[in-house]
Homo-oligomer: A and B are copies of this chain.
């Protein structure tokens, strides 16, 4: 664990670089907008904690009405439980007996759910909960268009029958998340993708109910598509993650005029450490911000662009050749290409109240599940 990049009460200028900084005012408005949207439409909200990996953030989401959080990994579930979250859903596949045993033990202490898409996982999970003396909710994952995990709709019935055959497993419904649709640029493309997802979900649900098994809930949706799942009449729970912080890739999506707007709340504070004739270099490379969804943008400096990044360097150029450049030592605020893997690079989230210019550090949160890949 590294030393803290800031202390509460520090001025923004005192935050060490590079550091991951949250504009708390924007962040809280984002939480309220999503919570209000879900509440007004009678949707359960279960934000995805894989994005922030931080129990303090999860507890704020729950305080505003979220039923709990999603996670992707066993280690994330343990970190969220240790941080006080009482309702956790592992919305991903787990087949290793050692991990299923850990989850079954965790289910003694918190309300736990897990996604499955195969018989091996169901049988191993059933054994694990029997040995732990616990019970878990089980969602069957259907592939609603991403071509990743999940079964075809026709297979969902057979899996649901497997689930209900085991004491300790409660069939909870369908995991139906279309990840790639979140980043389709056009609103119409995203809407069409979710229309397809809904068709798949309806077919899978029919395959289950035809066997006399009730399907209590369909859960899915992300920050790019949640309006369409909400109006589908089929989904009952939303799993958005990125809305809380935002990133440069989501900012490239065409905005949906009928969905709430979210503000950029996540920044990498960086410092110019080298200045040449045509460019400057800041001290935050792709060990400080993930670039697999594109290079970062420079906040409120439309005159500047990031032209490349290495592990510990990002090169900043003027958009207009010859235009003025930031000075050596100057602070630049980078908006990461993708928030989830960026947060995972850092040990701390520095919360600033009162804006990036004149604000004050209000909180330094641990990224509790950073590195929890197991």
Contacts and interface: CB of A to CB of B under 8 A. Distances in A.
A345 B371 contact: yes
A95 B329 contact: yes
Interface string A42-84: 0000000010000000000000000000001101000000000
Interface of A: 1-2, 5, 16-19, 50, 72-73, 75, 92-96, 98-99, 117-118, 120, 143, 147-151, 179, 271-276, 279, 281, 283-284, 286-288, 290-292, 310-313, 315, 328-329, 340-341, 344-347, 370-374
A79 to B, nearest CB: 9
A279 B117 CA distance: 14
A341 B2 contact: no
B329 A18 contact: no
Given A93-B273, A329-B120, A372 B2 contact: yes
A281 B312 contact: no
Contact of A279 (B118, B147, B179): B147
Copies of this chain present: 2
Contacts of A147: 276, 279, 315
B2 A374 contact: yes
Contact of A149 (B5, B281, B284): B281
A92 B73 CA distance: 36
Nearest to A141: B274
Which of A92, A283, A373 has the most B CB atoms < 10 Å from its CB? A373
A315 B117 CA distance: 15
Contact of A274 (B17, B149, B283, B372): B149
Given A72-B311, A286-B292, 16 more contacts: A2-B75, A5-B374, A18-B374, A50-B312, A92-B273, A94-B273, A95-B272, A96-B271, A96-B329, A147-B276, A147-B315, A149-B276, A151-B276, A287-B344, A292-B292, A346-B373
B1 A286 contact: no
B118 A328 contact: yes
A347 B148 CA distance: 27
A59 B53 CA distance: 33
Contacts of A19: 374
B315 A148 contact: yes
Contact of A120 (B284, B328, B370): B328
Nearest to A18: B373
A147 to B, nearest CB: 7
A4 to B, nearest CB: 10
B274 A118 contact: yes
A284 B96 CA distance: 13
A101 to B, nearest CB: 12
A345 B283 CA distance: 19
A275 B95 CA distance: 11
A200 to B, nearest CB: 14
